[in-house]
Amino acid sequence: MEMAFTAQLLLLSSLFLQPVLVLSQTNGSIAVGGSLTATAEGNSSSSWLSPSGDFAFGFRPLGNNDLFLLSIWYAKIPDRTIVWYANNKPAVAPLGSSVNLTAHSGLVLTSPQGKELWKSETIVGVVANGVFNDTGNFVLEDDSSKKLWESFKNPTDTILPGQIIETGGSLASRQSETNYSKGRFQLRLQQDGNLVLNSINFTTASTNTPYYGSATTTGTVPGSEGKQLVFNDSGYLYVLRENGGKYTLTWGNRVSAMAYYTRATLNFDGVFAQYVHPKTFSGNASWEPLWSLPENICLDIDADSGPGVCGFNSICALSAADKRPKCECPRGFSLLDPNDLYGSCKPDFIQSCEEKEEEHLYDVQMLTNTDWLTSEYSRLEEFTADNCSESCIQDCLCGVAIYSNQTCWKKELPLSNGRVDSSLRATTFIKFRKDNSTLPVPPSPSPDDKKNNKTTFTGIRPVILATALLVCLVLIAAAFSLGLFFTFQKKQVRIMQSGLNISLRPFSYQELQEATNGFTEELGRGSFGVVYKGIIQNGSQVQVAVKKLHCVIQDGDKEFKTEVNVIGKTHHKNLVRLLGYCDEGQQRLLVYELLSNGTLASFLFADVKPSWGQRIEIAYGIAKGLEYLHEECSTPIIHCDIKPLM
């Protein structure tokens, strides 16, 4: 009886599962009106399969946060490697989101509340159906089988066999292995035919000098410039020249396209590589690199190519196994964000020029073949290695000394483009504090100093140092909102236009985490932090920009709050307003009103350039804001510096 009941239950379950299986196991053709929904059942999400089952299109779960990525991935290998994804901001969709195939808008991704999160680019024509090919290409066709849109023409970070990138096309890296927002690096086939790798300046959205180039431009041979980046069906990647010649990128061991999956990906660390994976495999099979570009990204990204792969004060080393960069903090330094292994390193001590007997407090770690490209402030000739080391220890400004060929270069923090390689032939002395202790807060200025209206630096130097750093951060954050603007206000911060009427408000970290939906929608970033879009509740929903600082003000909570109060006492119509802050543990965040029109850079460098009259108005407005900061507010503020008048 029990066995009969079990059999009936299994039969009943199979009847309920049948529609889902039919939906997933398509022949590659999807009719208009078809849809998928991001579900958490079974820790998986619904999808459409290509005819062979090699590829899947649908929702891939991201961790355990009830967030999903609309994407295409390899369906038959365990790691389900993603090769394409909807890369709008944010690049993730919450549980319950759906994608629909429509006649006039193509693929449309919506949230559970019906908000449009992403859609395929403008469709010229009427979509009759979708076709998911065994190449991994998802195509939208009209009733005459004309292609109206295809994922191959809108690549993200990966190119597959059968895919072509035309002149002007590009791949963009993701931010990290698990963060699919747009990252710092891109591969472009330029209009001149040169295939290049370069980093992106997030502040201006401009591109830095390439750190790799194929040199497929017009030369002595007519028509030698590249016109397409081709990944053929046999798994060979090359730049096709105008004259029919080829500049081949694929090299190394040859593999069978019948026996191996292959892809070429621009990794989040800026390395472009081709990988292969056996189609028939044991449990230990994985993606293996065939080749990668550039040869050594730690060395090939120089100062003109922008910041290196690793953050400030970090050291980049190339892994011999896969030619990928690894980052490491030197002794006396630790990661600003322990979860970001490629991020900046902060010193675990405070160095001050007010201390005496400097040489007894500090020591150096000696590294070989290590260097940082920037921040040099002194060059000393005819020195020995010992002289170089001792000179740095005794110099309160020195963070690192580089010694080579009887020359000593002294450099100050922060340092960028750090690298280690046997070709550098340099000895590096990294300064650190022996006891890793911090300095006590210095006494306040005396009443006599105030009476004489003197600016006392000896008593408040660490405070000014921390203050200067904070205002630098404010300036960087304001640049994302409308160029060189700050966020300041007087004792009572009032947002008249938005209906917000609150005092400068302290926020908890959890409040801001919830307001930004887990810091998912990034507005921009600078050297010291990232700006996220958020919504706070004050009777109604108010949009804000939340600046999450990477650095920790080492003088403590009191100084941080004092600085926030100082900038909170300024108010001008040309300055973005400060609404509040978070000072909780190691977390430092600033909350601003949101300027929804985007950055000044995006306006200045758009396809349609502003008129000269508009440019004059912009310059005049910025000048008025700076004039107020310099001369009119109660506490004059200079760029990257606050100087209280005493």
Residue 613, H or E segment = helix 612-627
The answer on 344 and 220 residing in a single domain is no
The answer on 71 and 146 residing in a single domain is yes
Tell me the two tokens of residue 303. 């100062």
Residue 17 lies in a domain: no
Quick one: pLDDT at residue 643? 35
Which phi and psi angles does 645 have, rounded to 5°?
Answer: -90, 115
Residue 49 lies in a domain: yes
Angle at alpha carbon of residue 12, lines to 11 and 13, rounded to 5°: 90
C-alpha to C-alpha distance for 543 and 498, rounded to whole angstroms? 9
Quick one: pLDDT at residue 495? 34
Residue 558, H or E segment = helix 557-568
Interstrand relation of 505-506 and 578-584 (parallel, antiparallel or unpaired): parallel
Q: Please give the C-alpha separations between residue 76 and each of 49, 84, 225, in angstroms, as whole numbers.
A: 11, 16, 39
Residue 210 lies in a domain: yes
Helical ranges in 439-505 per DSSP H: 447-451, 461-482
Q: Please give the C-alpha separations between residue 614 and each of 481, 606, 625, 627, in angstroms, as whole numbers.
A: 18, 14, 17, 20
C-alpha to C-alpha distance for 352 and 625, rounded to whole angstroms? 33
Residue 51 lies in a domain: yes
Partnered with residue 188 across adjacent β-strands are 170, 196
Quick one: pLDDT at residue 194? 95
Strands (E), 594-644: 637-638, 641-642
Residue 458 lies in a domain: yes
Is residue 96 within 8 A of residue 117, CB to CB? The reply is: no
572: containing domain: 453-642
What are all long-range contacts of 170-177, with beta carbons under 8 Å and residues at least 24 apart? 171/266, 171/272, 172/87, 172/266, 173/266, 173/267, 173/268, 173/269, 173/270, 174/268, 175/268, 176/268, 176/340, 176/342, 177/268
Residue 395 lies in a domain: yes
Q: Among the three residues 433, 468, 498, which one is the final residue of a domain in this structure?
A: 433
Q: Is 641 a catalytic residue?
A: yes
Quick one: pLDDT at residue 355? 63
Residue 191, amino acid: Q
Helical ranges in 362-423 per DSSP H: 385-394
Q: Among the three residues 154, 175, 193, which one is the final residue of a domain in this structure?
A: 154
Nearest to 619 by CA among 641, 604, 631: 604
CATH value at residue 489: 3.30.200.20
The answer on 348 and 487 residing in a single domain is no
Q: Among the three residues 126, 154, 182, which one is the final residue of a domain in this structure?
A: 154
Is residue 47 within 8 A of residue 124, CB to CB? The reply is: no
Quick one: pLDDT at residue 247? 93
Is residue 573 within 8 A of residue 563, CB to CB? The reply is: no
Count up the domains in the chain and report the number: 4
The answer on 247 and 225 residing in a single domain is yes
The answer on 108 and 29 residing in a single domain is yes
Q: Is 548 labelled a binding residue?
A: yes
With tokens 């997030």, the residue in question is 202
With tokens 């901001």, the residue in question is 89
Quick one: pLDDT at residue 639? 57
Tell me the two tokens of residue 404. 């080579």
User: Which residues of the chain carry a pLDDT beneath 50?
Assistant: 1-25, 42-44, 357, 438-502, 553-555, 641-646
Per the residue annotation, which of 134, 322, 421, 641 is the catalytic one?
641
C-alpha to C-alpha distance for 514 and 520, rounded to whole angstroms? 10
CA torsion 526-528-532-535 (nearest 10°) is -140
- Give one word for 244, left, alpha or beta, with left for phi > 0 and alpha for psi -120 to 50: left
With tokens 């543990």, the residue in question is 585
CATH value at residue 142: 2.90.10.10
With tokens 């010229």, the residue in question is 124
Is residue 302 within 8 A of residue 287, CB to CB? The reply is: no
C-alpha to C-alpha distance for 302 and 638, rounded to whole angstroms? 31
Quick one: pLDDT at residue 46? 78
pTM: 0.66
Tell me the two tokens of residue 233. 């069906």
Tell me the two tokens of residue 431. 């300064």
The answer on 375 and 507 residing in a single domain is no
C-alpha to C-alpha distance for 553 and 472, rounded to whole angstroms? 13
Nearest to 376 by CA among 409, 330, 407: 409
The answer on 377 and 241 residing in a single domain is no
C-alpha to C-alpha distance for 634 and 642, rounded to whole angstroms? 12
Residue 445 lies in a domain: no
The answer on 170 and 144 residing in a single domain is no
Tell me the two tokens of residue 525. 């970033």
Residue 18 lies in a domain: no
C-alpha to C-alpha distance for 490 and 122, rounded to whole angstroms? 47
Which phi and psi angles does 216 have, rounded to 5°?
Answer: -90, 60
Q: Which residues contact 556 (CB under 8 A, 6 or more apart)?
A: 441
The answer on 419 and 461 residing in a single domain is no
The answer on 502 and 589 residing in a single domain is yes
In the chain, what is the straight-line distance between the N-terminal and C-terminal CA atoms, in Å?
93
Tell me the two tokens of residue 514. 């919830």
Tell me the two tokens of residue 433. 């504090």
The answer on 408 and 360 residing in a single domain is yes
The answer on 176 and 29 residing in a single domain is no
Q: Is the dihedral of CA 47, 277, 182, 40 positive or negative?
A: positive
CATH value at residue 226: 2.90.10
Nearest to 522 by CA among 72, 176, 171, 68: 176
